[in-house]
Amino acid sequence: MTLKPITGAKIVNFGQLHRQYTALKGPIDAAIEQTLAESTFIRGPAVECFETSFANLIGVGHCVSCGNGTDALYIAMKSLGVKPGDEVIVPAMTWISTSEAVSQAGGIPIFCDIDAETNTIDPDQIESLLSENTVGIVPVHLYGHSADMKRIMQIANSKNLWVVEDCAQAHLTKFNGKYVGTFGAAATFSFYPGKNLGAMGDAGAVVTNDHALSIRMAKFARHGGLVKGTHDIEGINSRLDGLQAAILNVKMPYLPDWTKRRRQVAEAYNQAFAVINGLHSPTTSQNVDHSWHLFCVQTRERSALRDQLLQNGISTSINYPKALHQLPCYEYKSHSDEEFPNASSLANCGLCLPLYPELELDEIQYVIRHVLGFFNAEI
Ligand X SMILES: *Cc1c(COP(=O)(O)O)cnc(C)c1O
| 181 scored as a contact of ligand X (CB under 6 A) | no
Could you give the CA distance from residue 110 to residue 275 in angstroms, rounded to a whole number? 38
- The neighbour count for residue 190, using CB atoms within 10 Å, is 28
125 touching ligand X, by CB under 6 A: no
User: Binding residue for ligand X (CB under 6 A) from 50, 54, 192, 273?
Assistant: 192
CB of 328 to ligand X, least distance (A): 19
The yes or no reply on residue 220 touching ligand X (CB under 6 A) is: no
Q: Does 350 bind ligand X (CB under 6 A)?
A: no
Q: Which is nearer to ligand X, 34 or 317 (CB)?
A: 317
Q: Would you count residue 140 as binding ligand X (CB under 6 A)?
A: yes
Per CB under 6 A, the list member of 99, 120, 190, 299 interacting with ligand X is 190
Which among 20-28, 64-72, 131-139, 348-356 is the span making contact with ligand X, rule CB under 6 A?
Answer: 64-72
Name which of residues 65 to 104 contact ligand X (CB under 6 A): 68-70, 94-95, 97-98
Q: Does residue 182 interact with ligand X by CB under 6 A?
A: no
Q: Which of 28, 135, 168, 324 binds ligand X (CB under 6 A)?
A: 168
CB of 101 to ligand X, least distance (A): 8
Shorter beta-carbon distance to ligand X: residue 111 or 374: 111
Residues that bind ligand X (CB under 6 A): 68-70, 94-95, 97-98, 140, 166, 168-169, 190, 192, 202, 204
